[in-house]
Chains A and B, each alone.
Chain A
Amino acid sequence: MNKKERLVAAIEHGTVIDHIPANKTYQVASLLGLFDLKTPVTIGFNYPSQKVGSKGIIKVSDKFFTDDEISRLSVVAPNVILSIIRDYEVVEKKTVVTPDEIKGIVKCNNPKCITNNEPMATHFHVTDGILTCHYCEKEQDINKVELC
């Protein structure tokens, strides 16, 4: 794609997060802690996409995410692609790997669970797209979670 066709201005160094389902764009930004960054962040959404219908794109200058940070996205946008940019060139593409454990991101849907009654982080074990609460052992589908 040449520069004229770019949907959002190019960045020199940093990360481009593409193929975000449009309605999840702000959740992705929040999970990656982008609102706390001091570097330029461009957030766009409702771009047409063959993959997800309507997509969001986020470009973050001078920021490279760790695999741990990227794995946080597995609950809201597991199919995003992160392009690592150096000198305006894509040097690496990363996908989201669902971790075995998710801590402090997802709310337990059992109102009687200790995590909803005590100031503490939630903790889930992940197997085949099912999250099992470490404390009350109630299960929920990874696609139907509510964030903390």
Chain B
Amino acid sequence: MEKHNFVTIADLTKEKILYMIEMAEEFEKHPNRELLKGKVVATLFFEPSTRTRLSFETAANRLGAKVIGFADPKITSGTKGETLKDTILMVSNYADVIVMRHFIEGAAVYASEVAPIPIVNAGDGAHQHPSQCMLDLYSIYKTQGTLENLNIYMVGDLKYGRTVHSLLMAMRHFNPTFHFVAPKELAMPNEYKIYCKEHGIKYQEHTAFNDKIIADADILYMTRVQKERFSDLMEYERVKNVYVLNNDLLKNAKPNMKILHPLPRVNEIAYEVDDNPHAYYIQQAGNGLFAREAIFCDVLGISLDEVRNDKTIIL
């Protein structure tokens, strides 16, 4: 059997994205199963990420797999100078699939080349975080009933935010209109604007953030503006409160509009918004479980048909 990996979102076809969404829907109906009974999932976190790790480990546990791994790289042989290749090959002796988070960019692609078992990328530095993108896509699909022809507003740090870059690339199949709302220092990098032009994706750029700008939004994708990203702290002080969402800004929003955020949030969404019907970021994180159950099954060669006809569902 050909080895499946899940290391990047950019290569996924439209059909594959929709297939993964359909699979996630099945897991949302019945998250508890024994599809992976007898399998061992290794979670190797060379960089701490509690939220992502818990989500993957929950997905593995709810499918009946056993989980091994580490959450703190200080306890691994990497600190003794072991290469990533050796660590991956060693763990491949024990596990059926490896979920890896690494601070080095491109680590997941490399691991997928050397490992005899599937690699799931749980984030490699500033490069890719495809499972986050999968749950973002699932959240958009679930709240809008489609991925086609949506107005997607991305707000905040569009320069360093890898989630917005991945989402932009994955949405290219679905005729979106993007609005990039960011301070100049954190504007969408040129390479992604060129990507949009090459793929015929419509976009507009804004520096202002107000109720009129976002009135047309189907999805409002908020990100955190981080102080350490600014070379000019005066500039940070000037913009730090500009990209904060509150209920007042939502008064002209379309009824179907939902607010997404990859979390953790700091102050970019006021707490009063949590009870607003447009808020969706907590449910969005919950969707990560279903998206990651689908990712596990896909890389382990379990098809959508098998998931639909699954006799191991625990009711």
* Cβ-neighbour of A113 out of B83, B85, B104 (below 8 A): B104
User: A137 on the interface (CB 8 Å rule)?
Assistant: yes
Q: How many A-B residue pairs have CB under 8 A?
A: 44
User: A15 on the interface (CB 8 Å rule)?
Assistant: no
Q: For window 66-111 of chain B, which residues contact chain A by CB distance below 8 Å?
A: 83-85, 103-107, 109-110
Q: Which residues of B contact A133 (CB under 8 A)?
A: 106
Q: Which residues of A contact B83 (CB under 8 A)?
A: 118-119
Closest to B109 in A: A135
User: B126 on the interface (CB 8 Å rule)?
Assistant: yes
* Cβ-neighbour of A110 out of B84, B85, B105, B107 (below 8 A): B105
The minimal Cβ–Cβ distance linking A111 to chain B, given in whole angstroms, is 10
User: B191 on the interface (CB 8 Å rule)?
Assistant: yes
User: A125 on the interface (CB 8 Å rule)?
Assistant: no
What band does the interface of chain A fall in when counting residues whose beta carbon is under 8 Å from B? Answer: 10 to 19
**Chain B proximity mask over A135-148: 1 for CB below 8 Å, otherwise 0:** 11111000000000
Tell me if B126 and A114 are in contact (CB < 8 A): no
* Cβ-neighbour of B110 out of A112, A118, A137, A139 (below 8 A): A118
Q: Which residues of B contact A119 (CB under 8 A)?
A: 83
User: A120 on the interface (CB 8 Å rule)?
Assistant: yes
Q: Which residues of B contact A137 (CB under 8 A)?
A: 106, 127
User: A115 on the interface (CB 8 Å rule)?
Assistant: yes
A147 to B199, CA, bound (A): 33
**Chain A proximity mask over B211-233: 1 for CB below 8 Å, otherwise 0:** 00000000000000000000000
- Across the A-B interface, the 3 shortest Cβ-Cβ residue pairs: A135-B106, A136-B105, A136-B106
- Contacts A113-B105, A114-B105, A135-B110 aside, 10 further interface pairs with beta carbons under 8 A come to A112-B126, A114-B104, A114-B124, A117-B84, A118-B83, A118-B84, A135-B106, A136-B125, A137-B106, A139-B191
